[in-house]
Amino acid sequence: MKPFDEMLAEGDGVRPPYKILKKWLETQNPDKLTQKTVDAEHVFRKTGITFAVYGDDQAAERLIPFDIIPRIISGREWRRLSQGIEQRVMALNAFLDDIYHRQEIVRAGRIPKELIAHNEAFVPEMIGFRPPGNVYTHIIGVDIVRTAENQFYVLEDNARTPSGVSYMLENRETMMQLFPELFQHVKVCPVETYPQLLRQSLSAVAPAAARGAPTIAVLTPGIYNSAYFEHAFLADQMGVELVEGSDLRVVDGRVAMRTTEGFRPIDVLYRRVDDAYLDPLTFRPDSTLGVAGIMDVYRAGNITIANAPGTGIADDKAIYSYMPEIVEFYTGRKAILENVPTWRCSEKDSLAYVLEHLEELVVKEVHGSGGYGMLVGPAASKKEREAFSEKLKSRPNNYIAQPTLALSTTPILTEKGLAPRHVDLRPFVLVSDRIRITPGGLTRVALKEGSLVVNSSQGGGTKDTWVLDD
C-alpha cells in the first residue's frame, strides 16, 4: 500500500496546506535551493548544534541533517491533535499520581499489579508523596505518526527527559534566516516563545519554600552527554544557570548551587539526569552526576524536580499498550488519539503470534529509546530475525511488538530534486498551572529512501514544522 503523501493529493493535486509552498517551490532555481541546504549546514555548524553518538569513535559529535522543505500541518488538523495531546497528558499525570498513592486503576483491574510492582521505572521512594502543584510530568514529548488524511497514532510517550526542543527552535530560526520571503506568504504559528513559556511553567510549580521569584537551574550530566547542546541552549534561552552535580550540595535543608558569592538555594531544578543517577544516597551510590540528599530535600517540599522522579513508568512501552484504558479511566472519555496496535510479548498468545510474524512486525524493548534495541522485521535479515527470536524467548517481558505502519511522507530536497520520505512528529507539552502545547514540534525524517527509522542516532534528520495560523 502506498503511504499517505502529506503534500500531494490523488492525481496531480496538491493538498491545501501545501498549495502556497508548492507554488513557491516551482519558481525556485534548484541550484539555489541546494545552496540553501549548504548555508543551513553552515548555520548549524557555527551555532554548535551537535549531538553525540555513543559508541561511535569515528564521529563522536555530529550535525543532525536538516532538510529545508518544511512539513506543514493545517490549523484544523493541529486543533484536533492538540485536543488529543492535552487529554493524554492529563491522563498520564493522573495515572502517575494514582500509582504512587491509592492505585485505583490496579484495584479496578484495568492494569495488572505486576506491571507496576515489578517495573524497573517504578520508584518506591515516590509512594505517598505529591510533588509541588501535583505535577509529575512538567515537560512531555508525544511522538505521533500519520497514516492517512485523518488518521494519527501516538507512537510513544516521552515522560522522563524528552529531548529535541532545541532543534525545533533552531530549525525555525534557520528557516526564517534562509527564506524570509516565504514567511510573508504563509501564516505560520510561532514557536520561539517556548523558552519563556518553559520558564513560566517551571516558576508556576515552585515549592512553598520559594520566596519571591523562584530560582531555576538546569541540571546536566555534562559536556559528554548526547544532548548537552540542548541543556546549555535552554538554560541560556531561559536566563537560568546550567549546573552539574558537582556544583550542587544540600545546605540547611535546601539544594544550593555554588556561586561567586557562596551557595545559593535553588527552588526548581529542571533535571536532564536519569532517576538512577539523581541521588547517590537513594539510588546508585556510584553516581557523581546528581546531588547527595536531594531526595530528602524533595520529599520535605523544599525543591521541585522537573520531571518528577518515577515518571519513567509512564513512557514504559508495556504501560503504553494500556493507554486507551488509562485515558478512559481518568478522563471518562475514549482517547481522541489512538495507540498503535500493540502485542505484549509477556502474554503467551501474543508472544506466539509475534514469533510467527517477526518478518512483518517492529519489536521494541519496553524501556528502549533512540531506536536502539529494536527489530524492524521487514528490513531485517533472516539471521537477524532468528537471533532476535531467541532474545524474545529468553526475556519476553522485555518486549512489545507493533505492526509496521506505512508512515506518511513529506518531500525532502535530494540531489535529484524533491522526493518523499517518511516522517514522525514530536510535539512538546508544558504542564504546570495549565497545559501549554507549542504549535508544531520536531519533525524527524528518515533520509534513506524507504526507511522507517527517523531517529537521529540511526541516520535520520529533522525539518521545520509549520502549523498554519488559519
When pLDDT is averaged across residues 210-221 and rounded to a whole number, the result is: 95
- Please, which pLDDT band fits residue 344 given cuts at 50, 70 and 90? very high
Please count the structural domains in the chain: 3
The pLDDT score that the predictor gives to residue 26 is 93
Residues 309 and 295 in one domain: no
Does a structural domain hold residue 7?
A: no
Residues 318 and 441 in one domain: yes
Residues 281 and 427 in one domain: no
The pLDDT score that the predictor gives to residue 371 is 60
Interatomic CA distance for residues 337 and 437, integer angstroms: 15
**Cell 508472544 belongs to which residue?**
351
Residues 387 and 462 in one domain: no
**What does the buried/exposed string (b/e) look like for 147-185 if buried means 16 or more CB atoms within 10 Å of the residue's CB?**
beeeebbbbbbbbbbbbbbbbbbbbbebbeebbeebeee
Does a structural domain hold residue 8?
A: no
When pLDDT is averaged across residues 162-191 and rounded to a whole number, the result is: 95
Please check the confidence at residue 369 and state whether its pLDDT lies above 70: no
Interatomic CA distance for residues 369 and 317, integer angstroms: 10
Per-residue three-class SS string for 291-322: CCCHHHHHHCCCCEEECCCCHHHHHCHHHHCC
Backbone angles phi, psi at 411, to 5 degrees: -75, 145
Does a structural domain hold residue 249?
A: yes
Looking up residue 248, the CATH number of its domain turns out to be: 3.40.50.11290
The pLDDT score that the predictor gives to residue 45 is 86
State which of 302, 326, 356 marks the end of a domain.
302
Does a structural domain hold residue 449?
A: yes
Looking up residue 355, the CATH number of its domain turns out to be: 3.30.1490.270
Please check the confidence at residue 3 and state whether its pLDDT lies above 80: yes
- What digits encode the pLDDT tens for the residues 346-360? 999 999 999 999 999
Please check the confidence at residue 273 and state whether its pLDDT lies above 90: yes
Please check the confidence at residue 52 and state whether its pLDDT lies above 60: no
Residues 435 and 287 in one domain: no
Residues 100 and 26 in one domain: yes
Does a structural domain hold residue 266?
A: yes
| pTM of the predicted structure, to 2 decimals | 0.92
Please check the confidence at residue 50 and state whether its pLDDT lies above 80: no
The pLDDT score that the predictor gives to residue 108 is 97
Residues 110 and 54 in one domain: yes
Contacts of 330 (CB under 8 A, 6+ apart): 90, 91, 94, 95, 98, 105
Does a structural domain hold residue 233?
A: yes
Contacts of 468 (CB under 8 A, 6+ apart): 17, 72, 73, 74, 75, 78, 186, 187, 188, 189
State which of 285, 302, 319 marks the end of a domain.
302
Residues 286 and 392 in one domain: no
Residues 390 and 452 in one domain: no
- What digits encode the pLDDT tens for the residues 276-312? 999 999 999 999 999 999 999 999 999 999 999 999 9
Task: Say if CB 151 and CB 408 are below 8 A apart.
Answer: no
Residues 118 and 246 in one domain: no
When pLDDT is averaged across residues 428-444 and rounded to a whole number, the result is: 96
Residues 359 and 391 in one domain: yes
Does a structural domain hold residue 100?
A: yes
- What digits encode the pLDDT tens for the residues 90-108? 999 999 999 999 999 999 9
Mean pLDDT score across all residues of the chain? 93
The pLDDT score that the predictor gives to residue 394 is 94
What strand order describes the sheet that includes 361-365? 343-344, 399-403, 361-365, 375-376
Share of the chain above pLDDT 90, in %: 82
Please check the confidence at residue 373 and state whether its pLDDT lies above 90: no
The pLDDT score that the predictor gives to residue 59 is 47
Q: Domain range for residue 240? A: 208-302
Residues 203 and 249 in one domain: no
The pLDDT score that the predictor gives to residue 122 is 95
Does a structural domain hold residue 150?
A: yes
Task: Say if CB 79 and CB 213 are below 8 A apart.
Answer: no
The pLDDT score that the predictor gives to residue 153 is 97
